[in-house]
Amino acid sequence: MTIRTRKLFGTIALLILVTVWSLVAMAIAQAPLLSGSKLAQGIYYVVIGLGWVVPAMPIIKWMSRPDR
């Protein structure tokens, strides 16, 4: 697979990841446990806001792999 094709598939995968991640994060943010505490909300939004990077790293690494 050429790097150009990997970047196309990787971009699509990243768009799907970010979309699903944000929808799930919004659904969880509506939980009564989070709405009761400002501290819990702050921690939640920091963790969720940075958390999508961990599953995105292997996709980006795969996308930037050189052709063989």
Cβ distance 33 to 40 under 8 Å?
Answer: yes
Can you tell me the distance from the alpha carbon of 59 to that of 68, in angstroms, rounded to the nearest whole number? 18
Distances (CA, A) of 53 to 14, 18, 27, 58: 10, 9, 19, 9
Q: What is the rounded distance in angstroms from the CA atom of residue 59 to the CA atom of residue 45?
A: 23
Please report, rounded to a whole number, the percentage of residues in the chain having pLDDT higher than 90.
Answer: 69
Global pTM reads 0.83
Q: What is the pLDDT of residues 2-30, one digit of tens each?
A: 899 999 999 999 999 999 999 999 999 88
Q: How many Cα atoms are found within 13 Å in the side-chain-facing hemisphere of 33? A: 5
